[in-house]
Amino acid sequence: MTLIEYKGHPSLMDRMLHIRTYRMKIRFNIKGLARVSWFNRNIVMIDKVDFIIDDLRTVMHGLCKTAR
Protein backbone atom coordinates (compact mmCIF):
# COMPACT_ATOMS: atom_id res chain seq x y z
CA MET A 1 0.00 0.00 0.00
CA THR A 2 1.42 3.35 -1.02
CA LEU A 3 0.16 6.90 -1.02
CA ILE A 4 0.25 9.34 -3.92
CA GLU A 5 2.14 11.88 -1.78
CA TYR A 6 5.04 9.45 -1.51
CA LYS A 7 5.27 8.91 -5.28
CA GLY A 8 3.26 5.71 -5.22
CA HIS A 9 0.40 4.71 -7.48
CA PRO A 10 -3.16 5.72 -6.51
CA SER A 11 -5.01 2.90 -4.81
CA LEU A 12 -8.26 2.25 -3.03
CA MET A 13 -6.43 2.51 0.31
CA ASP A 14 -5.19 5.98 -0.67
CA ARG A 15 -8.75 7.11 -1.35
CA MET A 16 -9.99 5.66 1.94
CA LEU A 17 -7.25 7.44 3.89
CA HIS A 18 -8.12 10.76 2.24
CA ILE A 19 -11.81 10.29 3.07
CA ARG A 20 -10.96 9.40 6.68
CA THR A 21 -8.76 12.50 7.01
CA TYR A 22 -11.52 14.71 5.60
CA ARG A 23 -14.08 13.15 7.96
CA MET A 24 -11.84 13.76 10.98
CA LYS A 25 -11.33 17.38 9.93
CA ILE A 26 -15.10 17.90 9.79
CA ARG A 27 -15.62 16.08 13.09
CA PHE A 28 -13.17 18.21 15.08
CA ASN A 29 -13.92 21.59 13.45
CA ILE A 30 -17.73 21.67 13.56
CA LYS A 31 -19.69 21.88 16.79
CA GLY A 32 -22.20 19.19 17.54
CA LEU A 33 -25.82 19.81 18.41
CA ALA A 34 -26.69 20.52 22.05
CA ARG A 35 -30.09 20.24 23.67
CA VAL A 36 -31.11 23.46 25.40
CA SER A 37 -34.19 23.63 27.61
CA TRP A 38 -35.62 26.45 29.73
CA PHE A 39 -37.43 25.90 33.02
CA ASN A 40 -39.36 28.57 34.96
CA ARG A 41 -37.60 31.36 33.00
CA ASN A 42 -34.70 31.12 35.45
CA ILE A 43 -33.11 27.70 34.86
CA VAL A 44 -31.33 26.63 31.66
CA MET A 45 -30.51 23.00 30.96
CA ILE A 46 -27.81 22.33 28.34
CA ASP A 47 -27.64 18.60 27.62
CA LYS A 48 -27.69 17.28 31.21
CA VAL A 49 -26.22 20.30 33.05
CA ASP A 50 -28.50 22.79 34.84
CA PHE A 51 -27.66 26.49 35.27
CA ILE A 52 -29.50 29.15 37.23
CA ILE A 53 -29.34 32.35 35.21
CA ASP A 54 -28.42 34.52 38.21
CA ASP A 55 -25.51 32.23 39.13
CA LEU A 56 -24.31 32.17 35.54
CA ARG A 57 -24.49 35.98 35.41
CA THR A 58 -22.44 36.22 38.63
CA VAL A 59 -19.79 33.89 37.22
CA MET A 60 -19.55 35.89 34.00
CA HIS A 61 -19.20 39.20 35.88
CA GLY A 62 -16.48 37.62 38.04
CA LEU A 63 -14.61 36.38 34.97
CA CYS A 64 -14.78 39.81 33.32
CA LYS A 65 -13.55 41.48 36.51
CA THR A 66 -10.66 39.00 36.81
CA ALA A 67 -9.73 39.47 33.14
CA ARG A 68 -9.53 43.23 33.58
Query: What are the tens digits of pLDDT across the range 5-59?
Result: 666 677 787 788 889 999 888 888 887 777 888 888 889 888 888 889 898 889 9
Domain hosting residue 59, numbered range: 36-67
Assess whether 42 and 26 both reside in one domain: no
Assess whether 26 and 41 both reside in one domain: no
SS3 string of 15-66?
HHHHHHHHHHHHHHHCCCCCCEEEECCCEEEECCEEEEHHHHHHHHHHHHHH
- The answer on pLDDT for 61 being more than 90 is yes
Assess whether 6 and 22 both reside in one domain: yes
Question: pLDDT confidence of 62, banded at 50, 70, 90?
Answer: very high
What pLDDT, on the 0 to 100 scale, is given for residue 48? 83
What pLDDT, on the 0 to 100 scale, is given for residue 4? 62
Assess whether 40 and 22 both reside in one domain: no
Assess whether 22 and 44 both reside in one domain: no
Domain count, the chain: 2
Assess whether 23 and 48 both reside in one domain: no
